[in-house]
């Protein structure tokens, strides 16, 4: 390899046991990297059952490992296969390791879980470490409240991996908003590995949008309602529907994207209720959320990482209704963003008063835009990741030259 940009290979891992967050974040990173680096090839290891529903740029591909899902009691089970979870995890670990062995990446980026789901990436990290492959852990801006995260990472034995395996830790956010490892006693050697990149900006795809019949005749302006993957978004959708049922003269129609992981029972119930309203449209899933976001006059969301990035990128007024279980991640992000003046937060008190939501929706178009708050470096994430990737590849090239010269002699 004569240049860091010549034929470089980057491998991503995201465990994807719930929702769309990890996949959508990694996909945004992969697309930005191939856009900025000619001839770079990127492979994504993912357990997402709907990864094939997304389009990928040239030189970006994926390997789908057997899916698992986290149950409400915290345990994992196989998503589709009727086999023991330990067998599923053993298959996943084997596929991950063999893919990495053959692909032989110049850089390996792991999303969120330092050792992967139940340690399934550990042997791959050790193998690539021996080869001199740079290893990077990528973290979203908020992980969880410190009281929960510290014991979780201790149980998963994460700190030794940060200390002994990873070369760098990239936080896709800013310290002004949150330190994702708040409350964890990190050694100085690990702290030196941390770089805050800023948030990952999103753009509307330039390729023609596939037709979604649920959106036919949708007119601007509208409010976009999105519970992300939808697996735990039924209370948000119910609350918005109550507002429209309570106040039929809402000034703007709602476009609700239920999410592919919402239960069929909830989807059916919500669609029946929406059909009785003349100003609410629904669809189960749309892979081009960026386009829907860009055309909306405002957004109502649960406030996952990717939705937050889109709100900032398209400068949209937003009401965030965060979940508080099983993690406080969304609440922490929304609360801090509200303190900074970027969004408004509406807390789900369990009652979900229809008039309170209707009032918030009526006032939404009068909120200040996120851009009215100046936060240096807020959306510099993709540019900074591109820079960090090429720095890592350059170092790898320099370190490999003596070995190549010796081998050639």
**pLDDT for 100-153, tens place per residue?**
999 999 999 999 999 999 999 999 999 999 999 999 999 999 999 999 999 999
Q: What is the pLDDT, as a whole number, of residue 1?
A: 37
Alpha-carbon distance 50 to 322, whole Å? 24
- The 280-283 sheet, strands edge to edge: 280-283, 254-257, 223-226, 298-301, 318-320, 344-345
- Give me the CATH code for the 9-201+379-408 domain, please: 3.40.50.2000
> Is 167 within 8 Å of 136 (Cβ atoms)?
yes
CA geometry: angle at 129 spanning 126 and 133, to 5°?
140
Q: What is the pLDDT, as a whole number, of residue 18?
A: 63
| Residue 4 predicted with pLDDT over 60 | no
| Residue 82 predicted with pLDDT over 50 | yes
Identify the CATH homologous superfamily for domain 213-372: Glycogen Phosphorylase B; (3.40.50.2000)
For all residues of the chain together, what is the average pLDDT? 91
User: DSSP strand E in 235-328: where?
Assistant: 254-257, 280-283, 298-301, 318-320
Question: Tokens 């965060």 identify what position?
Answer: 322
The answer, as to whether pTM is greater than 0.75, is: yes
Tell me whether the CATH fold assigned to 9-201+379-408 matches the one assigned to 213-372: yes
Higher pLDDT, 72 or 346: 346
**Alpha-carbon distance values, 230 to 75, 174, 206, 226 (Å):** 20, 27, 26, 8
**pLDDT bracket for residue 403 (50, 70, 90):** very low
Domain residue ranges in the chain: 9-201+379-408, 213-372
Question: Tokens 């996949």 identify what position?
Answer: 23
């Amino acid at each position: 390899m004569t240049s860091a940009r010549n034929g470089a290979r980057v491998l991503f891992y995201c465990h994807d046991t719930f929702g769309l967050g990890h996949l959508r974040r990694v996909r945004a990173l992969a697309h930005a990297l191939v856009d900025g680096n000619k001839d770079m090839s990127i492979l994504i290891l993912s357990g997402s059952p709907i990864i094939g529903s997304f389009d990928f740029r040239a030189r970006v591909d994926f390997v789908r490992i057997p899916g698992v899902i986290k149950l409400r009691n915290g345990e994992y089970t196989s998503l589709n296969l009727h086999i023991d979870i330990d067998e599923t995890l053993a298959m996943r670990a084997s596929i991950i390791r063999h893919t990495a062995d053959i692909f032989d990446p110049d850089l390996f980026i792991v999303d969120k879980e330092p050792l992967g789901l139940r340690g399934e990436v550990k042997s791959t990290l050790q193998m690539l470490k021996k080869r001199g492959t740079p290893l990077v852990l990528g973290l979203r801006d908020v992980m969880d409240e410190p009281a929960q995260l510290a014991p979780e990472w201790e149980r998963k034995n994460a700190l030794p991996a940060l200390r002994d395996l990873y070369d760098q830790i990239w936080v896709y956010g800013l310290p002004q908003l949150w330190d994702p490892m708040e409350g964890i006693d990190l050694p100085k050697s690990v702290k030196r590995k941390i770089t805050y990149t800023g948030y990952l900006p999103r753009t509307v795809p330039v390729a023609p949008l596939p037709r979604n019949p649920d959106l036919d005749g949708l007119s601007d302006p509208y409010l976009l309602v999105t519970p992300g993957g939808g697996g735990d978004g039924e209370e948000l959708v119910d609350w918005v529907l109550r507002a429209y049922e309570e106040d039929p003269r809402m000034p703007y129609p709602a476009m609700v994207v239920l999410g592919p992981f919402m239960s069929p029972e909830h989807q059916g119930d919500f669609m029946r209720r929406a059909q009785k309203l003349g100003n609410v449209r629904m669809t189960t899933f749309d892979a081009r959320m960026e386009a829907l976001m860009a055309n909306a006059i405002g957004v109502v969301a649960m406030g996952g990482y990717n939705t937050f990035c889109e709100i900032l990128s398209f400068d949209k007024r937003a009401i965030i209704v965060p979940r508080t279980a099983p993690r406080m991640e969304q609440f922490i992000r929304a609360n801090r963003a509200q303190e900074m003046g970027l969004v408004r937060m509406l807390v789900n008190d369990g009652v979900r008063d229809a008039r309170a939501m209707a009032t918030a929706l009526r006032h939404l178009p009068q909120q200040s835009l996120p851009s009215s708050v100046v936060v240096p470096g807020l959306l510099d994430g993709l540019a900074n990741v591109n820079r960090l990737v090429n720095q890592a590849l350059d170092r790898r090239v320099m370190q490999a030259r003596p070995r190549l010269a010796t081998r050639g002699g």
